[in-house]
Structure 1
Amino acid sequence: MNGVHRFGCVGRDNPTAPRGFSKHRSIDSSFPFIPSPLSRSGSRRSPSPTPSSLYRNQSRKSNDSNGFMAAPLSRNASRRSSTPIMFSNSMGMVKPPPIEKKLECTLEELCFGCTKKIKITRDVITDSGEIIQEEELLTIKVKPGWKKGTKITFEGMGNEVPGAYPADIAFVIAEKRHPMFRREGDDLELAIEIPLVKALTGCDISVPLLGGERISLTTDNIIHPGEERIMPGQGMPTKLQGKRGDLKLLFLVQFPKELTDEQRSDVLSILEDSA
């Protein structure tokens, strides 16, 4: 165990398949299009939606590997390309691999849950064939107990390009290093440093919990270096409703750096008697 400092509590280190293609995976007919040189406001719209807009007009859903749902909040169109796009679907539509992005969360956020809002900018093909950039505000509801590697997928939220479906965007949960706790599955680990005299004579220890509370631990027995003690139900939420993992305490005993001759003599006599 590493990263231990001072008396008290010290820190330590710590599904998914995209849903695949939209149900409109292919379109049998081609969509020839002759763009107008006029601006968007004066151009004529195609009588039939382009494959990209067909896909875009479907209800957009996102999912994560555990079956949780997320969805974009809002959209704001911005910069626009001045060159209309002509394309045909005669060769069939394809879908690029998902675009993965890291989403960092603290242990507290993964323990108690939170809401994350992420702004993205993406290329979108309009019905008139122009490419514009839109801002999307995505929302992710992090559920208590999620682990690193949990994936949340927003279907079709990548850039739109001619002849292809937009890629999915997948956010992968990453766990930020905590200054005190280390996560192991559903359990939390915490290192406690105590001076030798307290390890030998017993003491009351104020143990911090992840939520900011403290709980008192009283020990009358000798605490050995490296000894572990378990505090049930003080870890991370589990898949079982209302259940939590354990908090494991690892005791690190602080030895004095030096002793005087008199102190050595006293310690020797005490330890000889105890033996």
Structure 2
Amino acid sequence: GIKDGQEIVFKETGNRSQSETPGDVIFIIKEKKHQRFVREKDNLVYKVPISLSKALLGTIVKVDTLDGRVLSIPITDIVHPGYEHIVTGEGMPLHVPTNDTNPGSQLDKARKKAQPQQVIDDDLRGERGDLILRFDVVFPEALSAQQKKTLRAANL
């Protein structure tokens, strides 16, 4: 869940000398573009080209996730150009600072269960942004006479 441009600071872990306090080591995150996904805040956008027939009749979209799973997402609505289908909780992990004191949060509960020497990772919450399927309807270049007749008969 770390975002582009976010800084990670390690206080006083830089070069050491006897006469000066060590400086901070600062990492600045630079996101690498992905070939299938685009990040929008904590959400992942997956662009899906879809044929006109599947847009009208429905389909199952298979998505290879970043963690190696394959999601099979049924699309039963009529898909129009620009249509979006949201899959809740399949986006980027939500980043919560370790100083989060939100009572009742999963992080708060994990802290209460932990032994004093344990470090509680801020990603224990398991919460994630959403996966947004953004559709691009691909229209046929031409229709045969029979296809036109069938469409007219269906009164579309």
Q: Normalised by the shorter chain, which TM-score bucket?
A: 0.5 to 0.7
Equivalent position SS for 1:175: coil
Matches within 5 A, 1:167-186: 167-186=23-42
Q: Structure 1: which 5+ runs fail to align?
A: 1-144
- Choose from 40, 45, 52 the match for 1:196: 52
Quick check: 1:193–1:253 contact (8 Å CA) kept in 2? yes
The answer to whether 1:233 aligns with 2:89 is yes
Is this contact kept in 2: 1:156–1:165, CA < 8 A? no
Higher relative strand content: 1
Structure-2-length-normalised TM-score: 0.67
2:104 pairs with 1:220: no
2:128 corresponds to? 244
Moved more, 213-222 or 193-202: 213-222
SS in 2 for 1:237: coil
Structure 2 distance, partners of 1:267, 1:176, is 47
Check the 8 A contact 1:187/1:248 in 2, yes or no.
Answer: yes
1:235-260 per-position Cα deviation (integer Å, ceiling 9, x unaligned):
11112622111111101111112334
Query: Secondary structure of 1:229's match?
Result: strand
The verdict on how the C-alpha distance between 1:165 and 1:187 changes in structure 2, with shifts beyond 3 A counting, is same
Relative contact order: is structure 1 or structure 2 higher (C-alpha 8 Å, sep ≥ 6)? 2
2:61 pairs with 1:205: yes
Aligned to 2:152: 269
Q: Distance in 2 between the 1:231 and 1:156 partners?
A: 41
What is the rounded CA distance, in whole Å, between the counterparts of 1:153 and 1:244 in structure 2?
24
1:227, 1:251 within 8 Å by CA — same for their partners in 2?
Answer: yes
**What corresponds to 1:146 in structure 2?**
2
- Distance change >3 Å, CA 186–CA 195, structure 1 → 2: same
* Matched positions, count: 126
Query: Shift of the alpha carbon at 1:146?
Result: 1.7
- For residues 220 and 164 of structure 1, the distance between their equivalents in structure 2, rounded to whole angstroms, comes to 66
Among 137, 140, 154, which residue is 1:256 paired with?
140
Specify the structure having the higher radius of gyration (Cα).
1
